[in-house]
Amino acid sequence: MNSFIKWVGGKRLLRNQILGEFPTDFSCYVEVFGGAAWLLFAREKLAPMEVYNDINHDLVNLFRCVKYHGKALQEELSWSLVSREMFQESLAGYQSSGLTDIQRAARFFMVVKCSFGAKMEDFSGSRVSLANTVDSLEKFQNRLRNTIIEQLDFERLVKRYDRTGTLFYADPPYYQVEGYYGGGFKEADHIRLQKTLEGIKGKFVLTYNDCPFIRELYKDCPLTTLERQSNITSISTEKTYREILIKNF
């Protein structure tokens, strides 16, 4: 199924190509940079143990509310109208202190859902169907029933779940466009990620934008190129946009 939100860098268009590169034998699946979890939602089950992780507190709170308080979140959202005023109000207020986790998740959901390109800046227009997604939240709650939800920096997460049977799917902020996620991810973090993944007991599949810096960083790993149509958040003006997929197996 599709994810319930769009997310900058979300793997909607590439999910089947990426899934085709997964090994067949893994007992634990870890989505290290979860975002909208397009790969996780693409399958009914990927492994007996599944982990979703992201460092973004609001995103993780939304996933936790879908999982643990699906009905209450639906109820909270049932009052939401898709309008510019409502959007501006949610944008200004979703991080206010004094909100419950469910109220905060509802406002955050509204902002992501109704913003242009899911960038959480401008109202995308009133044609977004919030009601359909809200009605379908139950199926996402079911999908997440056995998924562990974490909010950790990638290095701690990888160390915590690294075993021979683990598959890590890592889709970090892309090199030199890290600003989409608050700009907290720096060149040193790309290097730290390579060091973290180097020599793990488990397997990893990693996706990145195609650039010399990343190619050089992973020059000892098998690498495949992936192509997809450009979207509005691409850094390229070309019709197709090239990404690379790197593995350790």
Ligand X SMILES: C[S@@+](CC[C@H](N)C(=O)[O-])C[C@H]1O[C@@H](n2cnc3c(N)ncnc32)[C@H](O)[C@@H]1O
Residues that bind ligand X (CB under 6 A): 7, 9-11, 33, 35-36, 38, 54-56, 153-154, 171-173, 181, 185
Nearer to ligand X, 28 or 60 (CB): 60
- Tell me the residue number closest to ligand X, measured at CB: 35
Minimum distance from residue 157 beta carbon to ligand X (Å)? 7
- b/e map of 163-173 (b: 16 or more CB within 10 Å)? eeebbbbbbbb
Residue type, 230: S
Minimum distance from residue 81 beta carbon to ligand X (Å)? 26
Q: Given its phi and psi angles, is residue 121 left (phi above 0), alpha (psi -120 to 50 degrees) or beta?
A: alpha
Minimum distance from residue 176 beta carbon to ligand X (Å)? 13
Beta strands in 3-117 (DSSP E): 28-31, 49-53
* Residue 19 CB coordination number (10 Å): 16
Nearer to ligand X, 38 or 204 (CB): 38
Minimum distance from residue 180 beta carbon to ligand X (Å)? 8
Minimum distance from residue 30 beta carbon to ligand X (Å)? 11
Nearer to ligand X, 172 or 202 (CB): 172
Residue 157 and residue 2: Cα distance in Å, rounded? Answer: 25
Minimum distance from residue 201 beta carbon to ligand X (Å)? 20
Residue 199 and residue 132: Cα distance in Å, rounded? Answer: 44
Nearer to ligand X, 86 or 173 (CB): 173
Q: Given its phi and psi angles, is residue 150 left (phi above 0), alpha (psi -120 to 50 degrees) or beta?
A: beta
3-state secondary structure (DSSP) of residue 29: strand
Nearer to ligand X, 14 or 82 (CB): 14
Structure tokens at 1: 């199924």
Residue 218 and residue 154: Cα distance in Å, rounded? Answer: 17
Nearer to ligand X, 4 or 123 (CB): 4
